[in-house]
Chains A and B, each alone.
Chain A
Amino acid sequence: MNSAPVVRVEGIRKTYGRTVAVDDVSFDVQAGEIFGLIGPNGAGKTTTMECVEGLRAPDRGSMVVLGLDPRRQRYLLQHRIGVQLQEAQLQKRIKVREAVSFWASLYPASVDGDRLLEQLGLTDRRDAWFMTLSGGQKQRLFIALALIHDPELVFLDELTTGLDPQARRAIWDLVRSIRARGKTVFLTTHLMEEAERLCDRVAIIDHGRIVDIDTPERLVRRHCPERAVIVTTGDSSAQARFSTIPGVTAVSHDDRRFTIRGRADDLVTQVIGCLAEHRMPVDDFRTEHPTLEDVFLELTGHSIRA
């Protein structure tokens, strides 16, 4: 990560009337990473992204995207970025292949549209009107349009919203394949699972402000260091034995089900060691790791779903 960032945003602010949508937001996106802007609906994700895309002008702050000013050099920038907008539509009666070939014609160079449609599983809908596509098919078409000119930087705004889990997984694979081809992906999502599985780094945004930025793993370790091991055992002295494990902060139980909490990185190893040492009978064993969802709750004091 020595090279200049692909996106550099410094102190941008955007207000609509008296509502502050984005407030002093700064972050970098590095080449070749999947960067996620995560937060609840209305947190300022889309506004921030559309400023970076050159579709909106922030009231203040500065931005450099691929070495360009998204406001003054919008048209140069449009050639090098691919954009998928949240809740966009196309003409109701445009055919899938017409949209793809029209979009391809807008750029000096483009990839093979038929192959792209095949990769996105849209080949059998080539001649279908946009209005007849399912939500997932529309979303995949928009991804095709964002990728048709093989852009260096791809923006994906809430790309799996409204999709079923199977379609969502397929789209995740697709996004990873974009990264595998050396492209940079900047996405927004309010789905913490999506961010955790997909993003190399995430910026958590709430009420228009960035709360923290890092890899999902480091964010979890920093803000929710506590882990839990849940053991079901009939051992009568389990409570006392678990309590003496180094680094354990609390042991609670519900009948034979014990929850052992601690902050040590080797908590799981320690618990296994204890179980083995005392030859304790174990009926069930699982570990619980905090997720980005917990991080969000910890940082903002409210759930992301609220």
Chain B
Amino acid sequence: MTTGLLRLTWLEIKIFVREPLGVIGTVAIPVLIFVVLGRIGGGRVPAEARDVPRFVSADLPILVAIVIALSAVLSLVTIVSIYREGGILKRLRATPLRPATILTAHVLVKLLFTAVTVALTIALGRRYYLMDVDVPVVSFSVALLLVTVSVIAIGFLIASVVPTARFAQPIGTLIFYPMLGLSGLFVPLEVLPPALRMIGRALPLTYAVSLLRGIWHGAGWVAHAGDVAALALTIAVCAAASAKVFRWE
């Protein structure tokens, strides 16, 4: 069971690396964009520079982290749809592999590439933005892992219902990016009209942003227990729903 999982994960990593746009799209482009933005921003920005817009100094890392996780998940949704449409999922299921193993392998691949991308971004980003910011790297990594897994859970629910691989990416984008727009990252929830604020509060990404932002700025886990609970609930609900409605062919 576990050897099957590790072998399949390794196999899927190799296959993903062979995709012409696989690694470039998931790792290189986000890192490049980040670096280029850093250059345009004029190099190092000390944290105490009050005249730097709050967004660049404080929330850009959160945005980058979430966008990296989202693009990994959108790619996962597409891959699962392609595998289903091509009968690959069905062929894998006609083996002693457990269904959960087949899907977990893909999750592990995405987590790995997300981690690599984020690590590269942070390493390069330190040169431009974060030199003087004391970031709790371990806590932030754990928070980002939780966020990524909850986004993956939502992604699986989307992958369960998209009709064909062609629609996977656009439908995923249409669901995730508005969610991000209402998450409080760009505009604080408090200034939104009441209706949008209500929607924002019901969306999982809002809690993801709140958690990442809090941890980044050194807040404790206890202060964000509500966010953690909301994300855990998202994972549980989406995983249970996917298990019910996921189609293998």
Contact = CB atoms under 8 A, between A and B. Distances in A.
B96 interface: yes
Interface of B: 3-4, 7-8, 11-12, 14-15, 18-19, 83, 86-88, 90-91, 93-98
Contacts of A91: 11-12, 15, 83, 88
A98 B14 CA distance: 10
A89 B88 contact: yes
Interface stretch (A75-83, A176-184, A185-193, A245-253): A75-83
A279 to B, nearest CB: 64
Contact of B91 (A75, A89, A93, A98): A89
Contact of A55 (B14, B19, B93, B97): B93
B203 to A, nearest CB: 34
Contact of B94 (A55, A90, A92, A105): A55
7 contacts: A83-B94, A88-B90, A91-B88, A98-B11, A102-B11, A105-B7, A106-B4
A127 to B, nearest CB: 12
A47 B96 CA distance: 20
A129 B14 CA distance: 12
A285 interface: no
Nearest to B19: A93
Contacts of A105: 3-4, 7
A78 B87 contact: no
B87 A106 contact: no
List 5 A-B pairs, minimum CB-CB distance, nearest first. A89-B86, A93-B18, A83-B94, A88-B87, A88-B91
A89 B87 contact: yes
Nearest to A91: B15
A209 to B, nearest CB: 24
Contacts, number: 55
Contacts of A55: 90, 93-94
Contacts of B11: 91, 94, 98, 102
Contacts of A103: 95
Nearest to A145: B91
A208 to B, nearest CB: 19
A152 interface: no
Interface residues of A, number: 24
A53 interface: yes
A106 B95 contact: yes
A106 B183 CA distance: 43
Contacts of A83: 94
Contact of B88 (A75, A88, A106, A129): A88
B4 A85 contact: no
A128 to B, nearest CB: 12
Given A55-B93, A103-B95, A85 B7 contact: no
Contacts of B86: 88-89
A87 B7 CA distance: 25
Given A94-B15, A102-B7, A85 B88 contact: no
B234 to A, nearest CB: 30
B91 A85 contact: yes
A129 B18 contact: yes
Nearest to A89: B86
Given A85-B91, A87-B87, A90-B88, A106 B96 contact: yes
Nearest to A79: B96
A87 B91 CA distance: 10
A107 B96 contact: yes
A75 B1 CA distance: 11
A142 B90 CA distance: 13
A129 B98 CA distance: 25
Nearest to B18: A93
A177 B11 CA distance: 31
A93 to B, nearest CB: 4
In this complex, which of B11, B12, B98 has the most chain A Cβ atoms within 10 angstroms of its Cβ? B11
A83 B98 CA distance: 16
